[in-house]
Amino acid sequence: MNLSQAGRLAERIATAVADCPSVARLSAGPAATYLPGRTVPGVAVREDRVRIAVVAAYGPPIAEVAEQVRAAAREVVPDLPVDVAVEDIEVLEAS
């Protein structure tokens, strides 16, 4: 997998994960895909696995959040193992 492919995968995974109802946002921590001139925070795409770091919405069990994230990522990369780190919890304001 080249850098361009990794970048496209990271962006697709980030979009899928951000749509998970139990995810407040992707984490700006150490998990990221570094591309020329920019990064995709919260998603590290490697040859052998994907690491995703999120901030969970307050409420659902952490295991449920992780499984939602893993399922969303597997829609994009079904053949790679997906590691999920829930790095924080955030209370979302009612809309």
Which amino acid makes up residue 13? I
Residue 19 to residues 46, 47, 57, 70, 73: CA-CA distances in angstroms? Answer: 22, 24, 12, 12, 11
Whether 52 contacts 83, CB under 8 Å: yes
Domains and CATH numbers, the chain: 3-90 (3.30.70.1350)
Indicate whether 3 pLDDT > 90: no
Indicate whether 33 pLDDT > 90: yes
pTM (2 d.p.): 0.92
Average pLDDT over residues 49-73: 97
Average pLDDT over residues 7-16: 96
